[in-house]
Structure formats: structure tokens, C-alpha cells
């Protein structure tokens, strides 16, 4: 080739550690090639041919073999487009073209709105080859060229995108009647309704249109499907069914009248169609088992949640009751214990009282034992009074424990001196504690 291609992007730096024998490693082979014919034209081909032939001679067998896997670039005959022609259809009057089934005329009944432009062209050609008036004349037929005109009209409509839409809008043969409730309930919902929606989908401005799906479709898919159909944006229109507008200029009012009438009819039909579709979607929705299933699932989900919630409340209630019970029990126990305690306290108090009484008796007895601290002979009553008063003062000033302590100190003591000391000490303690005033209980001084 002439000059080498120049690439201004730099080659990458050799990665660290890259190595290969002779600095080259193969990694894979070329993808398989397509066998095509190189057009035997031009100087470069002739050079190619010279190289490729090497003075060899190729045979007819070689030809067949070489052509075996060649990729075809020309279409085959329109063999896929063939259906028997209805004899009644062949007698149609071309003037009545508005009522003709353009697809049937071209033998495209099973394709209809699905027919591609290419298919229509090829179908047209096929029909022309058969029905051209010159062919009929040759076959000795006296048939007029009416059907040929039907073919031309059908092609004119179907190859014009605007006219084709107008016709497709009212092509009843492409409609799929929705099954009844009964049929649906007896049959397979998806099989019955799928084609209905597929047929309706042809009117959608938005393509592709979501499919009905099957029992395995997810909730999201089903929701998307119905959402789409409830918001359907349709290009369907009804001008094809317009009444012919009079062509003459004389009757202008009549002309305008028809035009207005047509306008209104179109609008009305469009409104009806929108309602019809809505109704149809409503019906499908109401018969769609998946909706029930999803509702049940949702219901079950809800139920499950409710049961769980109930169980939880129950558990909480039980727990609360248990706690309450426990508390009550504890309270009872505590109360019982308190009662016991109280009772015991009373006893102890009584005991203490008794002990105190006893102790007081002991204390008082000690004063008596010490002969009221009167040296020799019977103590005069004044002395006895004074001592007993002081002893009672002490007793009054001290609590039971101190009393018990004092009692224990006095217990068994007979010696007047000793007893006096004990009392004196007690008085001193009480005075220092501030319980007694200095000078009180002077009998023990």
C-alpha cells in the first residue's frame, strides 16, 4: 500500500516484567471470516486475480465449490408472501377501495400492521406480476382490470405512512376480541389476553409496549404493565371512516357541514375508543389471577404481620402480667415479712419492756441493796426518796440498751461503794453527754 497510516497516539510503555521469546507472543487467532465475492472490477482486482491464479485453470467444479458458502446479498423471491386469493375478492370494484382489506388484497393478511415496507413492496410486485391487465389478456381472460386497480390502491395506502396509519386505525381484522369472563375463567388467561394486548399495542406511540407476561411475572412487571395501559398514548384516529366531502365548489355550505360532521364523528370515536380500551384493561385487571395472587400475598404478608404483632402484644401482656404477679408476690412476701417483723418487734419490744422493767427493778434494787447509800442503819425516808428519785431520773434519761448495760454492770454487785461508783459514773457520762445537768442526781455525787 502507498504511504503508511500515521497514528499520533503513543504506543503504551512496555509493562514492568514483560518478557517473551524474541519479544513476541501470540495470544489468539483471527475470528472466522465471511466468504464474499470481490467484484471483478478495477485495476486492484486485476492485480489480485493475477496473484491468486498463479496460471492455474479453474473448472466448473471449482466454481460450485467456491460459491458454496458465499454470503448472499440479494433477496430471494418473495415466496414467504403467498396466500390463496379469495375469488370474491378478485371481483372487487376498485371504486369501493375504502372498504377493501388492503392487506388481503396484497396477500399480507397474516402480517397486517406488522408487514414491513419491504414486504409490502415485494407483495405488491408479486401481485402485479400476476394480475397486470396485460397478463390477463394474454391468458385469454376477459376480466377487467378492476382487481389490478385494487392492488394499486392497496399499495398506495400501505406504502404511505400517513394513509397506512389511518387504515391500520380501523383495520378490524387486526383486532383481537377480548375473551369473555367465562372464557377467561375456563381457559388460560395469558394465552387468551396476550394477543388482545399485542393487537392493541399497535396503536401505542411509545414502543416497545410491555407484554402481558405470564404467571411468573413479578409484581413490578405486572404493575408496570397495567400502569402502561392505564396511561396509554394512542395514535389511533378515525378519519378513514370520514364521509366523503363533496368535491364541487358550488355547495360550500354542504361541504362545510360534512366537514364539521366528520370532525365531530372522529372526536366521538376517539373518545369511545379511549373508553373501550380503559374498559378492556379494567376487565383484564379484574380477571388477572396475578393480581389476586399478589393481593393474597400481600394479605398473607399483612396477616403474618398482624399475627406477629398480636403475638408480640400477647407476649408483652403476659410479660406484664407476670411482672405484676411477681411484684404482687414480692409485695405479699414483703408484707408478710414485715408483719412477722412487726410481730417480732412487738415481742422484742415487750421483751425489751419486760427486760427494762426487770432492769429498772435491778437498778432500783441495787440502790436498795446499797441501802440507799446510807452509811449504817436504816436509811431515812428522805434519803430513800432522794436516791430513788435520782435513780428514776437516770432511768428516764437513758434508753433500754444503756439501761441494760447499766443493769449488767450492777448485776451481782452488793457492795454499796461499788454500786455508788457505777451510778456516779453513769451520772458523769450522762452529764458529759448533756443528758443530765450538772447538779442533778446529786445523790451519787
Partner 1 sequence: MSDEESSPQRVAIGISFGNSNSSIAYTTSEGRAEVIANEEGDRQIPSILSYVAGEEFQGTQAKTQLVRNPKNTVAYFRDFLGQEFKSIDPTPCHQSAHPREHESTVAFSIKDTESDDENIVTVSEITTRHLRRLKNSASDYLGKKVNAAVITVPTNFSDKQKESLSKAASEAGLEVLQFIHEPVAAVLAYDARPDAKLSDKIIVVADLGGTRSDVAVIASRGGMYSILATAHDYDLGGALLDQAVMDHFAKEFIKKHKTDPRQNDRSLAKLKLESEAVKKALSIGGSASFGVESLADGIDFTSTINRTRYELLANKHFASFTRLITHAVEKAELDVLDIDEIVLAGGTSHTPKIASSLRNAFPPTTSILAPSTSPTAINPSELVARGAAIQASLIQEYETEDIEQSTHPMVTVTPHLRASIGVLCISGSESQGLFRPLIDAETPAPVRRTAQFATPKEGGDVLVKICEGVREIKVTRAEKPQTNGRKEDDEDSEVDSDDEPEEVREKVWRVGKVLAEAAVKGVKKGGKVEVQVNVGPDLAVQVIAREVGGKGGVRGSIEKPAVVENGSA
Q: Which three cell numbers stand for residue 236?
A: 389511533
Q: Judge if the upstream peptide bond of residue 440 is cis by omega within 30 degrees of 0.
A: no
Distance (Å, rounded) from C-alpha 242 to C-alpha 170? Answer: 11
Q: Which of 37, 245, 317, 323 binds partner 1 (CB under 8 A)?
A: 37
Q: Report whether 135 contacts 129 (CB < 8 A).
A: yes
Distance (Å, rounded) from C-alpha 370 to C-alpha 143? Answer: 169
Nearer to partner 1, 56 or 216 (CB): 56
Q: Report whether 220 contacts 195 (CB < 8 A).
A: no
To partner 1, the closest distance from the beta carbon of 2 in angstroms equals: 7
Binding mask 188-207 for partner 1 (x = CB under 8 A): --------------------
Nearer to partner 1, 6 or 99 (CB): 6
Applying CB under 8 A, the span of 88-96, 127-135, 358-366, 399-407 interacting with partner 1 comes to: 127-135
Q: Report whether 443 contacts 390 (CB < 8 A).
A: yes
Nearer to partner 1, 11 or 375 (CB): 11
Q: Which of 17, 84, 87, 134 binds partner 1 (CB under 8 A)?
A: 134
Nearer to partner 1, 129 or 343 (CB): 129
Q: Phi and psi of 394, rounded to 5°?
A: -60, -50
Q: Phi and psi of 234, rounded to 5°?
A: -105, 140
Applying CB under 8 A, the span of 50-58, 226-234, 296-304, 414-422 interacting with partner 1 comes to: 50-58
Q: Which of residues 154-173 bind partner 1 (CB under 8 A)?
A: 155, 159-160
Q: Report whether 323 contacts 251 (CB < 8 A).
A: no
Nearer to partner 1, 23 or 172 (CB): 23
Q: Among 159, 160, 150, which residue's Cα sits nearest to residue 130?
A: 150
Q: Which of residues 3-32 bind partner 1 (CB under 8 A)?
A: 4-15, 18, 20, 22-32
CB atoms within 10 A of CB 410: 22
To partner 1, the closest distance from the beta carbon of 20 in angstroms equals: 7
Applying CB under 8 A, the span of 43-51, 98-106, 304-312, 382-390 interacting with partner 1 comes to: 43-51
To partner 1, the closest distance from the beta carbon of 37 in angstroms equals: 5
Q: Which of residues 218-277 bind partner 1 (CB under 8 A)?
A: none
Distance (Å, rounded) from C-alpha 105 to C-alpha 96? Answer: 13
Nearer to partner 1, 120 or 422 (CB): 120
Q: Which of residues 65-84 bind partner 1 (CB under 8 A)?
A: 65-70, 73-75
Distance (Å, rounded) from C-alpha 395 to C-alpha 363? Answer: 8
Nearer to partner 1, 130 or 429 (CB): 130
Q: Which of 17, 33, 220, 248 binds partner 1 (CB under 8 A)?
A: 33
To partner 1, the closest distance from the beta carbon of 177 in angstroms equals: 34
Nearer to partner 1, 2 or 88 (CB): 2
To partner 1, the closest distance from the beta carbon of 79 in angstroms equals: 13
Q: Report whether 397 contacts 353 (CB < 8 A).
A: no
Distance (Å, rounded) from C-alpha 286 to C-alpha 211? Answer: 17
Question: Site size for partner 1, by CB under 8 A?
Answer: 75
Q: Which of residues 89-118 bind partner 1 (CB under 8 A)?
A: 117-118
Q: Which residue has the cell 442533778?
A: 440
Nearer to partner 1, 35 or 389 (CB): 35
CB atoms within 10 A of CB 167: 20
Q: Phi and psi of 18, rounded to 5°?
A: -70, 130
Applying CB under 8 A, the span of 40-48, 164-172, 204-212, 363-371 interacting with partner 1 comes to: 40-48
Q: Report whether 109 contacts 173 (CB < 8 A).
A: yes
Amino acid at each position: 500500500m502507498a504511504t503508511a497510516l500515521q497514528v499520533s497516539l503513543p504506543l503504551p510503555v512496555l509493562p514492568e516484567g514483560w518478557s517473551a521469546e524474541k519479544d513476541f507472543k501470540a495470544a489468539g487467532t483471527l475470528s472466522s471470516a465471511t466468504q464474499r465475492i470481490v467484484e471483478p472490477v478495477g485495476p486492484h482486482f486485476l492485480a489480485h486475480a493475477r496473484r491468486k491464479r498463479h496460471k492455474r485453470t479453474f473448472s466448473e467444479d471449482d466454481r460450485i465449490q467456491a460459491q458454496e458458502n458465499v454470503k448472499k446479498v440479494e433477496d430471494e423471491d418473495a415466496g414467504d408472501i403467498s396466500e390463496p386469493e379469495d375469488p370474491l375478492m378478485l371481483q372487487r370494484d376498485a371504486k369501493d377501495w375504502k372498504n377493501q382489506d388492503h392487506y388481503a388484497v396484497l396477500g399480507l393478511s397474516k402480517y397486517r400492521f406488522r408487514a414491513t415496507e419491504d414486504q409490502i413492496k415485494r407483495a405488491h410486485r408479486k401481485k402485479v406480476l400476476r394480475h397486470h391487465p396485460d397478463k390477463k389478456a394474454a391468458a385469454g381472460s376477459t376480466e377487467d382490470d378492476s382487481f389490478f386497480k385494487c392492488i394499486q390502491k392497496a399499495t398506495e395506502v400501505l406504502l404511505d405512512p400517513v394513509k397506512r396509519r389511518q387504515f391500520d386505525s380501523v383495520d378490524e381484522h387486526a383486532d383481537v376480541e377480548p375473551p369473555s369472563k367465562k372464557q377467561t375463567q375456563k381457559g388460560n388467561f395469558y394465552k387468551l389476553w396476550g394477543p388482545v394486548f399485542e393487537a392493541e399495542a399497535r396503536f401505542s406511540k411509545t414502543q416497545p409496549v410491555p407484554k402481558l407476561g405470564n404467571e411468573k411475572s413479578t409484581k413490578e412487571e405486572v404493575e408496570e404493565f397495567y400502569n402502561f395501559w392505564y396511561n396509554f398514548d394512542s395514535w389511533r384516529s378515525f378519519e378513514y371512516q370520514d364521509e366523503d366531502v363533496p368535491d364541487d365548489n358550488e355547495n360550500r355550505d354542504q361541504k362545510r357541514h360534512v366537514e364539521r360532521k366528520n370532525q365531530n364523528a372522529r372526536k366521538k370515536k376517539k373518545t369511545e375508543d379511549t373508553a373501550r380500551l380503559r374498559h378492556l384493561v379494567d376487565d383484564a385487571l379484574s380477571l388477572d389471577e396475578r393480581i389476586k395472587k399478589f393481593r393474597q400475598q400481600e394479605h398473607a404478608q399483612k396477616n403474618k404481620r398482624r399475627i406477629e404483632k398480636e403475638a408480640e402484644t400477647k407476649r408483652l401482656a403476659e410479660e406484664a402480667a407476670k411482672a405484676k404477679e411477681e411484684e404482687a408476690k414480692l409485695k405479699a412476701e414483703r408484707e408478710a415479712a414485715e408483719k412477722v417483723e412487726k410481730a417480732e418487734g412487738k415481742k422484742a419490744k415487750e421483751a425489751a419492756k419486760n427486760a427494762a422493767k426487770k432492769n429498772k427493778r435491778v437498778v432500783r434494787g441495787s440502790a436498795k441493796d446499797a441501802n440507799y447509800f446510807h452509811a449504817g442503819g436504816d436509811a431515812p425516808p428522805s434519803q430513800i426518796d432522794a436516791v430513788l428519785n435520782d435513780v428514776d431520773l437516770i432511768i428516764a434519761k437513758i434508753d433500754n440498751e444503756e439501761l441494760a448495760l447499766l443493769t449488767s454492770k450492777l448485776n451481782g454487785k452488793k457492795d454499796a461503794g461499788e454500786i455508788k461508783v457505777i451510778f456516779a459514773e453513769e451520772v458523769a457520762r450522762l452529764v458529759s453527754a448533756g443528758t443530765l445537768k450538772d447538779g442533778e442526781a446529786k445523790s451519787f455525787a
